[in-house]
Chains A and B, each alone.
Chain A
Amino acid sequence: MRNWWNTTFLGRSIRRDRWLGWSFAAFAAIQLAAQLITAEVTPFFLYGMYSDKIHPADEYVRVTCTVNGSALTQEAMPRYAGELFFSTLYRLEGLDAQNYDDLFAPFIAERFGWLPQSTKQELSEELSFDPKDTTALGQWMIRYLGRALDEPVEEVIITREKYIYEDDRPVLIERSPLLSAHVQR
């Protein structure tokens, strides 16, 4: 058993350099523990992308953006800017759909139920998005798109659309406004 251990990467590392070897061992142990309790605490990551069972949904939500009267798609933006901007729109849509009940309160109740109620409440409020900041969010969209598109942005309108798939093609079934922002002078 001991001979086997000495041939492993961890065994060799500990034998050659106690400090580095035990650092590797500690990292590996915490990383494995994080997998077991499914807790993601940077730099201990979980790599379970698309591993949950995913089934076709009854309907799908799309968020659209109109800038100065013209439709803007993620494809029309630089890759990372487009991902950041449209992911922010989808986060806003998710919050709006949940009446701005962010994801933190249920998670804190589940994993940190032992904390005093006032602490849990305070923590949840600190981490959650405050709906009062929606106007500031609209102004950020104007600033960010102005930079990303390299043109003055006067107006941004965000709309939620719902689709179903018919014959493997999406069909629009509902459209509702989500946010509209105008430049403030």
Chain B
Amino acid sequence: MFSARQRSILARVVFGWILVALLWRWANGAMLSQLEAPVLGNVYKDLTFWVFELLGVQQAITGSFTLALVFDVLLTSSAAIALFAPQKVWAARTYCALILIYFIVQTTYANHHYRPIIGLVVAGLPFTFLSLDRFNAMFQGLRYYLLFIYTSAGLYKVFRGSWLNMDQMTGIIQNTQLELFLASPDGWHAQLFTWLLQHQSVSWMLFLLATVLEVVFIIGYFTRRYDLWLFITAMSLHIGFYFTMRFFAFELIVLDLTLLPWERILSTARITKVIAGISTGGPNGLRGTAHP
């Protein structure tokens, strides 16, 4: 069970991560006010996206620069308020509602269903509760959701048979790294991919290893004893995905943090006092409460 003080430190960690991710998006021109009223989108086979499209939400927000800018500023400032004043649950609630809308609108015009951003969509949910019981339950729920993400990704590969497909990685590399082969064929990454294409059994084994490492997360449903190992596994997968697919899921890592032994980390009283003291402007910090 987390205390109120530990809750505010966790809020700081999670919303700090979220804020960095949002600022990165601002710097990269990925906020809604920076999309320049896009024309071609894709609502995929996702019925929620369809409803938004039929109601004209995507077009209404991106079609008006002022509205889009107000939206972006509200989204970013709600994350910032939740970071600096974790007791203000309305900020976390506002963030959660706005990030869901951002996800749908941005993903529509990004024209690819980018999964890692889901980390930003769900990571703020525990902080929408001031009740410590509900916060604790929701934080645990988030951990189970993370386990589901990895486990289901692995099981899909098993049930669909791709884990036994010897040329799976060859097909993936040829398709996704075409641009790299043409742009910088002599770079180390292109050389690595060429080597993997020449050694198909090695690249297949890497795919098989990734599948096994994903399925391994099923252990987390039965015990929390191996959570730290699962966290290391998750980091290994992220590093592996970068080297073998040039894909780095920064936004998803915020959910991996739920696997860390936070009770032990935060029980170091000095760390807790220092961080909570800085944020609340005094030694008492956020008053603990078990009620919303």
Contacts and interface: CB of A to CB of B under 8 A. Distances in A.
Interface of A: 9, 13, 16-17, 20-21, 24, 31, 35, 39-43, 45-57, 60, 62, 73-75, 78-81, 83-84, 87-88, 90-92, 103, 107, 123, 126-127, 129, 133, 136-137, 140, 143-144, 147-148, 163, 165, 168-170
Interface stretch (B6-14, B30-38, B281-289): B30-38
Q: Which 10 A-B pairs have the closest CB atoms?
A: A80-B30, A51-B156, A54-B171, A80-B28, A48-B156, A78-B28, A42-B48, A87-B111, A143-B36, A81-B29
B205 interface: no
A55 B39 contact: no
B89 interface: no
20 contacts: A17-B134, A40-B44, A46-B152, A47-B115, A48-B152, A51-B162, A53-B165, A54-B165, A54-B167, A55-B167, A56-B170, A78-B27, A80-B25, A80-B110, A84-B109, A127-B54, A137-B39, A140-B40, A143-B36, A148-B29
A81 B28 contact: yes
B183 interface: yes
A98 B24 CA distance: 35
Interface string B96-120: 0000100110000111111100100
Q: Bin the interface of chain B by size.
A: 35 or more
Nearest to A144: B36
A13 B143 CA distance: 14
B121 interface: yes
A92 B115 CA distance: 21
B265 interface: no
Given A147-B29, A169-B181, A54 B162 contact: yes
A169 to B, nearest CB: 6
Given A51-B162, A81-B28, A88 B171 contact: no
A47 B154 CA distance: 9
A71 to B, nearest CB: 9
Interface in B132-151: 133-134, 137-138, 140-141, 144, 148-150
A133 B156 contact: no
B263 interface: no
Q: Which of A17, A55, A75 has the most CB of B within 10 A?
A: A55
User: Chain B interface mostly helix, strand, loop or mixed?
Assistant: helix
Interface string B160-196: 1110010110111011001101110100000000100
A60 B174 contact: yes
A169 B185 contact: yes
B100 A43 contact: yes
Contacts of B178: 60, 62, 163, 170
Interface string B178-222: 110111010000000010011000000000000000000000000
Contact of A52 (B38, B49, B162, B167): B162
Given A51-B157, A54-B175, A140 B37 contact: yes
Interface string B122-138: 10000000000110011
A126 B28 contact: no
B47 A41 contact: yes
A125 to B, nearest CB: 11
Contact of B29 (A13, A41, A45, A78): A78
A93 to B, nearest CB: 11
Contacts of A148: 29
Contacts of B170: 56
Contacts of A55: 165, 167, 171
A154 B197 CA distance: 40
Given A42-B48, A57-B174, A88 B36 contact: no
A147 B179 contact: no
Given A51-B156, A74-B179, 4 more contacts: A39-B45, A47-B115, A53-B162, A56-B167
B103 to A, nearest CB: 7
Nearest to A138: B39
A35 B46 CA distance: 13
